[in-house]
Homo-oligomer: A and B are copies of this chain.
Amino acid sequence: MARESQVSITVIRRLPIYHRYLGDLLKKGINRISSQELSNLTGFTASQIRQDLNNFGGFGQQGYGYNVEDLHRELGKILGLDQQYNVVVAGAVNLGHAITLYRGFKEAGFNIVGVFDKNPDNPRYAGRNLEVKHLDGLEDFIKNNNVHIGVITTAKELAQEVADIYVRCGIKAIWNFATIDLAVPEDVALENVRLSESLYTLSYYLRNRENIQD
């Protein structure tokens, strides 16, 4: 049906932050909050918060504010956190390993159903509670399981190959950690996590500091 007018990605990226703070409030038993109070917590302006939320409907009540539980639940729905996802991870070394073992994702409904690597018998995995399958089996596995999200934590040389498998198998969401720009069709969502580039902004800052002191 008529898709609600395209909301910009900058707004979308703030939603998880609101969601997280609302979750914290919920745990503390606070069940009412104003945009101003949320502003104090998050650092975004109250006006921006109201504007962001109003992209998705009027969740607040004039003279009262927002009901924490309701808003948390609604944001969860908007973000798709009210359902379960099956996730496969390609590349079990370092990052892939870390992501596979991180409990937070499972708690949020992202279930890692398969982990694949070119070297599944790598001694690194010995004695660890982690079954790693050979990458050769990735395609069949996806075809036989209902996989929603594909993670790429391989070396960058392998990344496009893995992405092609994901696309071929109909996966519509790819979470890419390889330092390479992948080519995927338009209808596939690609979220790149560029760790190096994030780190470089820190060195930019450090360098800039020094210049100022000249």
Q: Name A residues whose Cβ lies closer than 8 Å to a Cβ of B.
A: 1, 3-4, 9, 12-13, 15-17, 19-20, 42-43, 77-81, 83, 85, 94-95, 97-99, 101-102, 104-105, 108-110, 124, 128, 148-149, 172-175, 179, 181, 187, 189, 191, 193-209, 211-212, 214
Could you list 19 further interchain pairs (A-B, Cβ under 8 angstroms) beyond the known A85-B206, A191-B201, A193-B198?
A: A1-B212, A9-B201, A16-B196, A17-B197, A19-B200, A43-B181, A78-B207, A79-B200, A79-B203, A79-B204, A80-B204, A80-B206, A83-B203, A94-B101, A94-B102, A148-B206, A149-B206, A172-B209, A191-B202
Give A203 to B8 CA distance when docked, in angstroms. Answer: 15
Chain B residues within an 8 Å CB radius of A42: 181
Min CB distance, A135 to chain B, in Å?
19
A94 to B101, CA, bound (A): 7
Are B85 and A207 neighbours in the complex by a CB distance under 8 Å? no
Q: Which residues of B contact A207 (CB under 8 A)?
A: 77-80, 83
Taken together as a complex, chains A and B put the C-alpha atoms of A196 and B208 apart, in Å, by 30
Can you name the residue of chain B whose Cβ is closest to the Cβ of A214? B1
